């Protein structure tokens, strides 16, 4: 029996669980009401009405498996407080409803614990994997988004990691693929990672290892029927009622703007920031300024983003850019289809969609952060790319929670995590077999150093100096700063990935 490492995953899960229970009465966003409403919809309506119901503005816009999951939860909710299952009972948040919904998040997190346990148990480098697993389990991102803001990401990322784990062994490729398909039917945001799965499965499972033109028919049939079965289980009932178009309009609302309410730290945040700066510089450069746009750039509101100086961005542009930057790692994956390359390509697909995508949520950074955590300890070059991402990704989540009571929680917890794990990672990451990139090291140190004054400014100084004026400024600083970190870490990781 392998020697246990302390503290164990379960021990950490217990302490974290105690902490999360204490946070029950803390701030919850509208997502809490969203999920309560879904409980009500799935519980009280026949299945063919689920995607038509619109009493609440928070209509069901997740794929069917998630709706089934809510239905399952609603079967328990009935015994706790039936009032939460009434569709017209908008914004209902009795103590028992809060306790019930919060506990389901904690309980479903066990899926993540299980996935991490599987990953650690089979790892050849146990101490490092164990640390990486703990860093995911205790991730401030998951704490802030799931246990305060309210979502079920730990469950979904648990499924993703399980699928990723299965993909590392040739024998379990098929279950991995089916699990990922099921995950897509839980939440379609994982479509961003699908290209990596597609290329990897195609090359390793469907095509012959020796030649890329020969198809392994048995495998192709198995995979095809499997996928079909999964999707049929999810969408079948709705297809039967002829509701697929309605379902798709709910899942893909294309009427949204380029940037989300808060600016996700991506290329477009930097683009908007440049535009803002150019407003002041443009007169000297002789550039045209669109006067309408000067006061209308996304200021914490969902809507169309208008730029004052720079050319507007079309969805097609973002799509093409995303695709281009996905293709680079995918080509390498196709040429050298190893599990490690697959893992790297998956992360890079997450990066590309986060950095260049249309209407990206800041929460989507978890798509990169969580898979990357498992790879960060491969050697020091990976760690160098991971560090700015760990800082930027978490700092970018700060605007999600803006109430003063939660402020110490989000800041102290994140600082604790960064101190603990960046220190532990630094001790554990092995020396790289190849040369390190000088620039990357300096960049990550400098980057870390800037974070402290920036957070102080945004938390305290800005309000003291400007009061309620220029409210968007701290948000813009945070997202531009974080965007720099994410882009920096992306470039760094891309270089390491392609060089390996």
Binding residues (CB under 8 A) for other proteins: these are 1, 3-8, 11, 14-15, 18-19, 21-26, 127, 130-131, 134, 403-405, 408-409, 412-413, 415-416, 419-420, 423-424, 427
Between 19 and 477, whose beta carbon lies closer to other proteins?
19
Q: Are 35 and 150 in contact (CB under 8 A)?
A: yes
HSE-up (13 A, CA, CB side) for residue 201 = 26
The tally of CA atoms less than 13 A away on the side-chain side of residue 269 is: 31
Would you call 360 helix, strand, or coil by DSSP?
strand
Minimum distance between the CB of residue 6 and other proteins, rounded to whole angstroms?
Answer: 3
- Residue 51 or 413: the one with the smaller Cβ distance to other proteins is 413
Complex with other proteins: residue 26 or 327, whichever CB lies closer: 26
> How many angstroms separate the CA atoms of 330 and 327, rounded?
5
Q: How far apart are CA 348 and CA 341, in angstroms?
A: 10
| Shortest distance, position 391 Cβ to other proteins, whole Å | 17
Tokens standing for residue 259:
């940037």
Half-sphere exposure of 257 (CA within 13 A, CB side): 22
3-state secondary structure of 54: coil
Q: What string of H, E and C letters represents the secondary structure of 391-456?
A: HHHHHCCHHHCCCCCCHHHHHHHHHHHHHHHHHHHHHHCCCCCCCCCHHHHHHHHHHHHHHHHHHH
Shortest Cβ 403–other proteins spacing (Å): 8
| Per-residue DSSP letter, 357 | -
Q: For residues 408 and 435, which CB has a smaller minimum distance to other proteins in the complex? A: 408
Between 131 and 272, CB nearer to other proteins: 131
CB of 425 to other proteins, least distance (A): 11
Nearer to other proteins among residue 136 and residue 496 (C-beta): 136
Instruction: Tell me which DSSP letter residue 259 carries.
Output: B
Question: DSSP 3-state assignment of 215?
Answer: strand
Contact 166, 172 (CB under 8 A): yes
Task: Quote the crossing angle between the two packed helices 153-167 and 95-108, to the nearest 10°.
Answer: 10
Residue 127 or 257: the one with the smaller Cβ distance to other proteins is 127
Output 7 or 315, the one with its CB closest to other proteins: 7
Alpha-carbon separation of residue 309 from 160, 376, 473, 478 (angstroms) = 41, 39, 18, 22
CB of 470 to other proteins, least distance (A): 21
State the minimum distance, in angstroms, from the CB of residue 26 to other proteins.
5
User: Please, what is the minimum distance in Å from the beta carbon of residue 25 to other proteins?
Assistant: 5
DSSP state letters, 362-378: GGGGHHHHHHHHHHTTS
Quote the tokens at residue 322. 């995303």
For other proteins, the closer of residues 210 and 404 by Cβ is 404
Say how many Å lie between the first and final Cα of the chain, rounded: 34
Pick from 409, 369, 406, 359: which is nearest to 391 by CA?
369
Q: How far is the CB of 131 from other proteins (least distance, A)?
A: 5
* Smallest separation (angstroms) from other proteins to the CB of 128: 9
C-beta closer to other proteins: residue 20 or 187:
20
């Amino acid at each position: 029996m392998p020697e246990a490492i302390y503290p164990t995953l379960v021990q950490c899960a217990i302490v974290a669980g105690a902490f999360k229970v204490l946070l029950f009465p803390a701030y919850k966003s509208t997502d809490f009401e969203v999920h309560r409403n879904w409980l009500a919809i799935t519980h009280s309506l026949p299945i063919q009405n689920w995607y038509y119901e619109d009493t609440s503005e928070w209509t069901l816009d997740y794929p069917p498996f998630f709706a089934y999951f809510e239905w399952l939860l609603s079967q328990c909710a009935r015994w706790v407080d039936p009032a939460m299952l009434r569709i017209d009972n908008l914004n209902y948040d009795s103590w028992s409803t809060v306790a019930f919904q919060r506990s389901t998040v904690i309980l479903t997190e066990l899926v993540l614990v299980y996935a991490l346990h599987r990953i650690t148990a089979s790892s050849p480098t146990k101490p490092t994997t164990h640390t990486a697993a703990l860093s995911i389990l205790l991730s401030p991102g998951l704490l802030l988004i799931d246990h305060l803001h309210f979502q079920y990401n730990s469950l979904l990322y648990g499924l993703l990691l399980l699928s990723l784990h299965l993909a590392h062994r040739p024998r379990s490729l098929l279950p991995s693929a089916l699990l990922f398909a099921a995950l897509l039917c839980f939440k379609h945001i994982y479509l961003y990672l699908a290209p990596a799965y597609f290329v990897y499965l195609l090359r390793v499972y469907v095509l012959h290892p020796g030649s890329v033109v020969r198809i392994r028919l048995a495998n192709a049939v198995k995979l095809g029927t499997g996928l079909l079965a999964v999707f049929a289980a999810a969408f079948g009932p709705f297809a039967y009622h002829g509701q697929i178009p309605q379902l798709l309009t709910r899942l893909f609302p294309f009427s949204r703007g380029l940037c989300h309410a808060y600016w996700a730290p991506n290329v477009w945040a930097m683009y908007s920031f440049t535009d803002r700066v150019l407003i002041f510089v443009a007169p000297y450069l002789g550039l045209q300024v669109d006067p309408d746009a000067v006061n209308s750039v996304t200021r914490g509101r969902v809507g169309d983003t208008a730029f004052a100086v720079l050319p507007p961005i079309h969805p097609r542009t973002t799509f093409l850019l995303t695709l281009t930057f996905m293709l680079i790692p995918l080509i390498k994956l196709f040429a050298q289809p190893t599990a490690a390359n697959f893992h790297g390509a998956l992360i890079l697909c997450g990066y590309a969609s986060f950095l260049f995508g249309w209407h990206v949520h800041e929460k989507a950074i978890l798509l990169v952060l969580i898979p990357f955590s498992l790879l960060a300890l491969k050697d020091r070059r990976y760690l160098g790319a991971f560090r700015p991402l760990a800082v930027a990704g978490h700092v970018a989540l700060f605007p999600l929670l803006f109430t003063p009571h939660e402020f110490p929680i989000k800041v102290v917890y994140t600082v604790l995590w960064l101190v603990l794990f960046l220190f532990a990672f630094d001790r554990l990451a092995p020396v790289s077999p190849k040369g390190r990139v000088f620039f990357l090291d300096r960049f990550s140190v400098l980057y870390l150093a800037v974070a402290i004054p920036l957070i102080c400014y945004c938390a305290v100084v800005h309000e003291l100096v400007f009061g309620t004026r220029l409210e968007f400024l701290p948000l813009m600083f945070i997202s531009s700063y974080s965007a720099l970190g994410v882009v920096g870490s992306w470039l760094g990781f891309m270089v390491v990935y392609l060089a390996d």
